[in-house]
Amino acid sequence: MKTLFSILTALLTSLSAYAQTANFMDISAAAGIDHVGSNYGLAVVDVDQDGWDDIYVTCRNEEPNLMYRNNGDLTFTNVAEEWGIADAGDGRMSVFADFDMDGDLDLYVGNNGQDKLYEQQEDGSFLDVTAAAGVANFHEVRSLNLIQIDNDGDIDLNVSNINEENVLYQNLGEMSFENVTAEYGVSDDQISMGAVAFDHDDDGDTDLYLTHDANQAFIMYECVQGTYFEAADADMGLSLEAQGMGVDVGDFNKDGLKDLYITNLYENSLLIKQEDGTYVDIAGAAGVDDTGMGWGIMSFDYDNDGWQDIYITNESNIPPMQPNRLYRNNGDLTFTDVAVGTPLASPNAGFACAYGDFNNDGMLDIVVANGGFTGNQLFLNMEENDNNWFKLKLNGFATNTVGASVKFYAPPSGGAQELLANDELLGGSGYASQMPYTMHFGLGENNAIYDLGIDWMSGQTIEVAALFANQTLTVNEDGTFPTSVIDETVETIVELSPNPSTDQLNVRLEATQKPTAIAVKVYDVMGRLLLTQQEQNRQFSLNIKDLDAGTYFLQMELNGELLIRPFIKH
């Protein structure tokens, strides 16, 4: 007979499990993306730059690829034929990039056979320029990665082939490429699968990590002064021997070091980087050692709590048959599978997966490419919480944006600053996937970010003192902010003194135009308006005597500019 205690225990356990369930809705059919066929690779990119994430699906078995244009209302229209990119070359994956630096995105498609390169035209259509560009890869592609090998501003491309030599294409400009594989020392000819290009040793250039199938050792190619690559030492903990598939990067413990998650056939791997530069696999202890036929992998913050979560796809046609999983980061290097009992635990033949904010609500959604007899799936994020977010779009003039690194902190609260994000813009990751160019960060309870730093591959560094949460910031390579609520150009100089302050904060402006009126507001770090004031002069003072000790934001609107500066009250 069940006791009252056992009944209550079972009830609490059930409620706890329910509380640990993610809230996503399968809207695939209503969205119009549930194509049934040999779906394989995904690229989620705002291809037409209208502010909405689009979806490009590469299909195997000579089925034409699909270009789902986002209509802005959670429906999509396949415009692949109209745009000229319904390639039917037995596709594996694709990457969009501005290869010719003309301001729009071009397309490289990796096939089992001849790859294709398409140049976007002024009318938004694409033109096949494969032959003229010197692209001549005819092998079965398993990964495409955008990479800057020479820091000349142009984006280069690494192509990983299965059982054939990989190819590294150097961009010569004007849609022309040269095979420099041997020169740069990356001619791996093993069973290449997933790959990711990122700066793993934080020396300012981009390295290349390759996974292999059939228990062939994985390889970390470290870039040496931008001139060649060499394999890293085997004792770093990166030379795993497994049946590897996809790989992605994430700072899973927010220590400022970039970690790796790898999908395998059987146990997956979570490699946590140590202070000495080595990596330790903690997948078992962390609870993320899924034993299925893993393919797709992406690290992202689905609930905006500030911790990187993990979504993986499993192919259910191959034993041991396991569903897809969403591992929620508990913040202590353990994870909980919150896909159980939800549409996310899809038991289909899942290959690539990618995220995107398809309705621009600040919550990341999930799209999965399913092969076989099941269609693609789009899972709409329905999480309800008070967590904040921040999006960042990088706009390069002379330099491509891939490889740029981003770091920012929480507003100081008397102690050491809390690191909120240390990320890098990747061009191709996971398995057969490309994620959006718009970088997305969950902030948890933080209503602002502090000390935003952006390091471009060109060496350009941009710093922004403070910004409010729940906005999309566009940053140009020259340091201007075309769509932002903040403009820190030299046109207006702001001096705050004393800072920190006790009773009175003095403000002095140096502006190219005399302000006709200045609307002054003071917010706390939670975004609450505390003071307002109207000023006519370039120098004025604020009485902050009644404010509690802490960090605040001074907002000033003048001459069409909206300036934000932080200050500290003692």
CA 473 to chain centre: 15
| Range 165-174 contact pairs with CB under 8 angstroms and sequence separation of 24 or more | 165/189, 166/192, 166/210, 167/137, 169/135, 171/99, 173/100, 173/101, 174/100
How many other CB atoms are there within 10 angstroms of residue 225's CB atom? 8
Cα–Cα dist 565/19, whole Å: 39
At residue 434, what are phi and psi to the nearest 5 degrees?
-130, 130
At residue 19, what are phi and psi to the nearest 5 degrees?
-65, -20
At residue 181, what are phi and psi to the nearest 5 degrees?
-60, -50
Model confidence over 240-282: pLDDT tens digits?
999 999 999 999 999 999 999 999 999 999 999 999 999 999 9
pLDDT computed for residue 75 by the predictor:
97
Q: Which two tokens stand for residue 327?
A: 């591992």
Mean pLDDT by runs of 10 across the 570 residues of the chain is: 42 45 96 96 96 97 97 97 97 97 96 97 97 95 95 92 96 96 95 96 94 97 92 94 97 97 97 97 98 97 98 90 96 97 93 97 97 92 95 88 95 80 96 98 93 91 86 85 44 75 88 71 78 88 90 78 78
The answer to whether 262 and 211 are in contact (CB under 8 A) is yes
How many other CB atoms are there within 10 angstroms of residue 570's CB atom? 10
The number of CA neighbours under 13 Å toward the Cβ of 74 is 16
Look at the block and give the residue holding tokens 């690559």: 229
The answer to whether 256 and 419 are in contact (CB under 8 A) is yes
pLDDT computed for residue 523 by the predictor:
84
Q: Which two tokens stand for residue 129?
A: 């320029």
List the Cα angle 365/306/240 in 5-degree steps.
80
Instruction: Give exposure, 346-357, as e/b (b: 16+ Cβ within 10 Å).
Output: bebbbbbbbbbb
Instruction: Give exposure, 94-104, as e/b (b: 16+ Cβ within 10 Å).
Output: bbbbbbbbeeb
pLDDT computed for residue 396 by the predictor:
86
The answer to whether 203 and 424 are in contact (CB under 8 A) is no
The answer to whether 443 and 449 are in contact (CB under 8 A) is yes
pLDDT computed for residue 568 by the predictor:
82
